[in-house]
């Protein structure tokens, strides 16, 4: 027999393969430093998942990855270690956060911020608010329910969704915000179409909740009003009821407690 022939790929396929390899290396370098890999390994040993599959969404603060295991699919959020997480936060959030955890290095602050998101998700989930169920965390890694199809396809953000029933979406949105305000006693603080997922089966799902503040915070009323005005306009453009005052009442705005002094 002659020598085996080398497998030859068309030039386009070779370029695509190199790009995929480069993208994979970039993701590893950006998110998976040695301490983060150790944290993921320990979370795997706890049985929360078995492997990290691929990125769902990435940004300046961090990335969300799909993970899988015997228990099904998971969403794994990895915060970058650095000050980029805190650059876009308003001063009142940083003030509240630093009062909770004290002053520390960025690695310690990110770990505390991850813990804070897990705690707030737990509080919202227990109040019946539709958020990804928190399943565990360690250092800068947060493990949550994957919101999506049974096949592991993650739901998209509301900003990209083709809304089929605007009236139903508005009704579900108002119900979830009302539970957040009156049952969990929290205001999201930055609610927009960018941090609401559209679950076709279960309605809107709120994400990125780490900067939520108590309803008696001096900024709570103004933030809730700002966010609900944004959504009133959004629903109006979709053809649903866009009246802000009505949405404000339905979401529990009129029942906010007085701010603490």
Tokens for 152, please give them. 């592991």
Instruction: Supply the pLDDT for residue 7.
Output: 46
Q: How would DSSP label each residue in the chain?
A: --PPPPP---HHHHHHHHHHHHHHHHHHHHH--HHHHHHHHHHHHTTS-SEEEEEEEE-SSEEEEEEEETTEEEEEEEE-SSTHHHHTS-HHHHHHHHHHH-S--HHHHHHHHHHHHHHHHHHHHHTT---PPEEEEETTEEEEE--B-TTSPBPPBGGG---S-HHHHHHHHHHHHHHHHHTS-EE-SS-STTSEEEETTTEEEE---TT-EETTSTTHHHHHHHHHHHHHHHHHHHTS---HHHHHHHTTGGGPPPPP-
**In the prediction, which pLDDT does 186 show?**
97
CB 78 within 8 A of CB 106: no
Q: What is the rounded distance in angstroms from the CA atom of residue 94 to the CA atom of residue 72?
A: 35
Query: Which pLDDT belongs to residue 259?
Result: 84
Overall fold of domain 31-36+48-145: Phosphorylase Kinase; domain 1 (3.30.200)
Indicate which residues carry an active-site annotation: 190, 208
The pLDDT score that the predictor gives to residue 215 is 96
The structural domains of the chain, with segments of one domain joined by +, span: 31-36+48-145, 158-255
Q: Rounded CA gap, 127 and 181, in Å?
A: 10
Domain 158-255 has CATH 1.10.510.10: yes
**How high is the pLDDT of residue 20?**
55
> What is the full per-residue pLDDT of the chain (261 aa) written as tens digits?
444 444 454 655 444 555 555 555 666 667 788 889 999 999 999 999 999 999 999 877 789 999 999 999 999 999 887 656 666 666 666 666 666 666 566 677 788 889 999 999 999 999 999 999 999 999 999 999 999 999 999 999 999 988 889 999 999 999 999 999 999 999 998 899 999 999 877 789 999 998 899 999 999 999 999 999 999 999 999 999 999 999 999 999 999 988 876
pLDDT at site 9: 42
pLDDT of residue 18: 55
Contacts of 139 (CB under 8 A, 6+ apart): 35, 36, 39, 107, 110, 111, 114
pTM: 0.84
pLDDT of residue 192: 93
């Amino acid at each position: 027999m002659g020598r085996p022939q080398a497998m030859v790929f068309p030039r386009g396929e070779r370029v695509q393969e190199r790009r995929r390899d480069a993208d994979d290396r970039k993701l590893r370098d950006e998110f998976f430093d040695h301490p983060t890999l150790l944290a993921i390994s320990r979370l795997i040993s706890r049985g929360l998942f078995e492997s990290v599959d691929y990125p769902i969404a990435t940004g300046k603060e961090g990335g969300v990855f799909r993970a899988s295991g015997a228990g099904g699919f998971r969403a794994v959020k990895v915060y970058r270690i650095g000050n980029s997480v805190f650059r876009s936060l308003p001063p009142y959030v940083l003030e509240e956060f630093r009062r909770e955890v004290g002053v520390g290095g960025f690695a310690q602050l990110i770990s505390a911020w991850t813990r804070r998101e897990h705690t707030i998700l737990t509080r919202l989930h227990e109040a019946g608010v539709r958020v990804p169920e928190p399943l565990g965390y360690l250092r800068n890694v947060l493990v949550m329910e994957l919101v999506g199809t049974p096949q592991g396809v993650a739901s998209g953000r509301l900003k990209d969704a083709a809304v089929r029933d605007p009236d139903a979406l508005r009704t579900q949105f108002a119900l979830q915000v009302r539970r957040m305000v009156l049952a969990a006693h929290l205001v999201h603080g930055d609610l927009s179409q960018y941090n609401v997922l559209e679950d076709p089966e279960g309605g809107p799902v709120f994400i990125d909740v780490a900067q939520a503040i108590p309803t008696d915070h001096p900024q709570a009323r103004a933030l809730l009003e700002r966010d609900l005005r944004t959504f009133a306009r959004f629903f109006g453009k979709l053809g649903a009821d866009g009246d802000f005052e009505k949405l404000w009442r339905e979401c529990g705005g009129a029942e906010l407690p007085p701010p603490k002094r």
